[in-house]
Chain A
């Protein structure tokens, strides 16, 4: 168990380092900078801005400063007692630096404010996706080849084919302008999360439905399921206690990336429903050349994907007795 975690931690550190380095280089090699604007700055003013954010340093030095709690300013000791001129603490100490675009916030502030909102939205989306996906997937597998199966599969295919913003549009037409049950957009109460959660979860529900159906079909044809039936167990128990456990394994492995995707990839839904989550920062920070924020959300995504995948691996050992942590 400990070896497992150590191994994972090592790989995690390596992956993170690679992600940070590659995205740092990529971000800086894109044309245009955080301060380029419709109005070109006067050279003196531009120089002042560059100096303030250390953009006049060579790239390697900016990189080192970004990574570690080092002080690379020539004027050295002056900054050790901190005079505000060097707000970069470095990724190593968990300080992602000040945002270039939203200058009143650090990247840590922005993530701290927006992540819980994305998590709340993601929770609703995921719960609803699981509920709907599992229910339809299981029934589809149980009544294979019937009209129910066709209807469920049609639902799943539609869900996958329709982008979530189209679903969002229909939801708004139906439940805001048709039957005014929910607010059209904005943020502040649980009611604000219902429509976006629904729209965000729909494609995931469809995927889960398909995965569950496939997984269940495979398991239901196994010998030990037949044995369970033969032993006279009620069908409900066979399905829920025995078959389901094996049948949802594909869903579980899909849940890791799906959760990360739901938490961070809700860009379009967040835009349409004006939800101040992390999603919009992924695209906007790159468009704004907000170097620190874009690095920050990239790191966040890396951490989330990695952590969730690890959870999935652990969940496997719970669900499938044939797999132990050491194999994972």
Chain B
């Protein structure tokens, strides 16, 4: 190691090694450009429909999986997906879905030669299993509540984890020493037929192998769970065998659940107490329990019956929502067999994942991209135009815009706020109203904000048009209600204010009237000239330039018009959430994005004690109206009830609404099958590249002031999807 030759050799070797690595790293990363490249804004948390909650995840999952229904990309009305038809019972409580017989899963693996092979058929059982998995406490799905309208679903998710034992293949057994006797019991297996209509796989699967007078031996079987024999953990003479009744559903949720048999043993001769507690859980943790009382039932391989606890008018929207996509049971279970410790990660790998959507996963590189390829065995594959789609995870505003402008990406979902004014006239930037509200929460317990007159004065002096027109600039609409603009069939219950005109001058006059009213209100509350001094309040928001700008306009409005001083307080995202959650603020910036186009997704937040309420506000009248709306079948009546609830909210003002969001997509003009809709949901299945004629036609219909942008589009021929018009009408 000491000679100059050796040193040179070491240095050279090191250099060559590094260069080799460089080549290896870059050569393995090379990919042909996909037919369509989209930027998703962040790395998806997971591709498991059962455990994710985000917008970026949803976008990919709509390509990989398909639910019973899909949404029409423009109107969002349900179109047939895996289900061909569906029927609702007259009382609005039972949905019967007929599944298409030709739907199937893919064959796992990333070998393109096998992509054309059909996997297992996709049946109603898959949906029953997947939906119950979503609800299962051990799945720990954040979106489990999306299925709570189903009968018994909520109780299932709320079952204490250590009591969810019963599955169709397994149960738990326990051992306890009480005064003078040792009790050995079964626990949970009867969960199956507790109030369940069919009791499939229930008590019959479990047999007790000992009777009074027998000797129980450590290690010898005493229970049969299906084919599995459960060894005893204790020795002892059986004194008595007592059958235990099945508990009620309510008891399951609150009381320790024990059922089956209690086996009493003679007290141990040496007087030693045996350890108490559970001694054996036969694989319960990775099994998924199927309590019969959850109203999801596969009646035949192609018929799925769903019983709802209450009529839920938006249930069909939920059915097309990604948490309700099916997952492949075999895929999960085989992964569990092969990788007992890491199956939750292994089943998600591209080579193992089994999906049923229009695309399948070919490659996944963390923080870089996912490559989706067309799934040839998808039932509607003929109408899927794109062969490959790359989904990037670029987070930086400037970078994604650069990628879009250089044509490397065909669609980006957001636009840097400081560049909106440069892009707003371009034909590839088409913002539209979005089903989300930007608002401020108010701590209604904290003086002086506990006075509704003060809250009303603050709400009236927010200069909403200044915020939407001078800061946001993408066509956001001022809002005086919680529910955003754009839900069909619903009239907003706006806070009482002077109606603004469409023109800015008219708005100014209306705003002046609002300010005058606000001054009166504040004087009535005892503040202002001749009254008490108004204490300084804090506007709390998460660190971001846009939120700061809005807060500055709001604070300025309060200062100039009401002489109310407001300080700005920004916190890092997670700290901000924590502060808001513990209601440790005066006024806190908030937003809510709807899951489905229905007022309930917004109004439901502010029921008394709701976990997203975070204002200390509550009103029994409001709760009653929301509850009544939940059981009302008649659509008009229901909307009236929700409107009445929002009216109360806008009288009490635990929130100060600011504006309705707008979408901010930038997409290549040639990209077809892409529609701006209020949910900002887009469907890879319907994407295609327009031919020149269609593009010219579209462009002819554009307002003349729009700036032309590069059309983008296919590198190798066009992709006209057969029968597209007939589906999208």
Contacts and interface: CB of A to CB of B under 8 A. Distances in A.
A274 B396 contact: yes
B403 A39 contact: no
Contacts of B43: 102
Given A104-B348, A109-B366, A318-B7, A120 B22 contact: yes
B48 A104 contact: yes
A184 B368 contact: no
Interface in A15-35: 30-33, 35
B578 A272 contact: no
A39 B612 contact: yes
Given A31-B575, A32-B577, A276-B366, A41 B142 contact: yes
Interface stretch (A84-92, A140-148, A219-227, A296-304): A84-92
Interface in B155-176: 157-158, 161
Contacts of B564: none
A327 interface: no
Contact of B574 (A81, A104, A289): A289
B281 interface: yes
A104 B21 contact: no
Contact of B142 (A45, A87, A271): A45
Interface stretch (B339-347, B462-470, B499-507, B553-561): B339-347
Nearest to B367: A276
B693 interface: no
A49 interface: yes
A116 B395 CA distance: 21
Nearest to A278: B367
Contacts of B574: 30-33, 36, 287-289
A184 B408 contact: yes
Given A48-B140, A104-B348, A193-B26, A184 B403 contact: yes
Interface residues of A, number: 73
A315 B573 CA distance: 45
A214 to B, nearest CB: 24
A32 B344 contact: no
A218 B23 CA distance: 39
A43 B158 CA distance: 9
B708 interface: no
A120 B638 CA distance: 61
Contacts of A98: 342, 344-345
Nearest to A183: B408
A103 B46 contact: yes
Interface in A287-324: 287-289, 318
A189 B30 contact: yes
Interface in A177-196: 177, 180, 183-190, 192-193
B433 interface: no
Contacts of A153: none
B112 to A, nearest CB: 19
A266 interface: no
A189 B26 contact: yes
Nearest to B283: A83
Contacts of B139: 48
A84 B342 contact: yes
A185 B21 contact: no
B144 interface: yes
A75 interface: yes
B31 interface: yes
A282 interface: no
A124 interface: yes
A180 B407 CA distance: 12
Interface in B391-410: 392-396, 398-399, 402-403, 405-406, 408
Interface in B10-30: 18-19, 21-26, 29-30
B611 interface: yes
A82 B47 CA distance: 24
B351 to A, nearest CB: 13
A103 B48 contact: yes
B577 A102 contact: no
B278 interface: yes
A204 interface: no
Contact of B26 (A83, A109, A120): A120
B142 A272 contact: no
B336 A41 contact: no
Contacts of B51: 103
A45 B366 contact: no
B573 A287 contact: yes
Contacts of A189: 26, 29-30
A124 B394 CA distance: 22
A98 B344 CA distance: 10
B399 A272 contact: yes
B138 to A, nearest CB: 7
B53 interface: yes
Max chain A CB contacts within 10 Å: which of B342, B364, B408?
B342
Contacts of A86: 341
Contacts of A33: 574
Interface in B309-363: 336, 339-345, 348-349
B148 to A, nearest CB: 9
Interface string A28-65: 00111101111111111101110110000000000000
B240 interface: no
Given A83-B286, A102-B45, A103-B51, A78 B577 contact: no
Given A41-B611, A49-B140, A187-B368, A106 B406 contact: no
B200 interface: no
Contact of B611 (A43, A102, A119): A43
A84 B138 CA distance: 12
B572 interface: yes
B637 interface: no
B367 A114 contact: yes
B145 A42 contact: yes
A110 interface: yes
A304 to B, nearest CB: 15
A206 to B, nearest CB: 22
B72 interface: no
Contacts of B285: 78, 83-85
A113 B22 CA distance: 14
A231 to B, nearest CB: 19
B358 to A, nearest CB: 21
Nearest to B340: A82
Given A37-B577, A83-B285, A83-B286, A123 B18 contact: yes
B399 A271 contact: yes
B445 interface: no
B614 A40 contact: yes
A134 to B, nearest CB: 14
A32 B403 contact: no
Nearest to B137: A48
B141 interface: yes
A110 to B, nearest CB: 5
B513 interface: no
Max chain A CB contacts within 10 Å: which of B139, B398, B591?
B398
Nearest to B595: A39
A155 to B, nearest CB: 25
Interface string A198-232: 00000000000000000000000000000000000
Contact of B368 (A106, A116, A276, A281): A276
Shortest beta-carbon contacts, A-B, top 6: A32-B574, A276-B368, A82-B340, A276-B367, A104-B348, A48-B140
Interface of A: 30-33, 35-45, 47-49, 51-52, 74-75, 78, 81-87, 89, 98, 101-106, 109-110, 113-114, 116-117, 119-120, 123-124, 172, 176-177, 180, 183-190, 192-193, 271-274, 276, 280-281, 287-289, 318
21 contacts: A30-B575, A38-B577, A38-B592, A40-B611, A48-B161, A51-B140, A51-B161, A82-B340, A83-B283, A83-B285, A83-B340, A86-B341, A119-B21, A123-B19, A177-B406, A187-B29, A188-B31, A189-B30, A271-B395, A274-B396, A287-B574
Given A37-B142, A186-B392, 13 more contacts: A36-B578, A38-B577, A40-B611, A42-B145, A84-B340, A87-B342, A113-B365, A117-B29, A119-B21, A183-B408, A184-B405, A189-B30, A288-B574
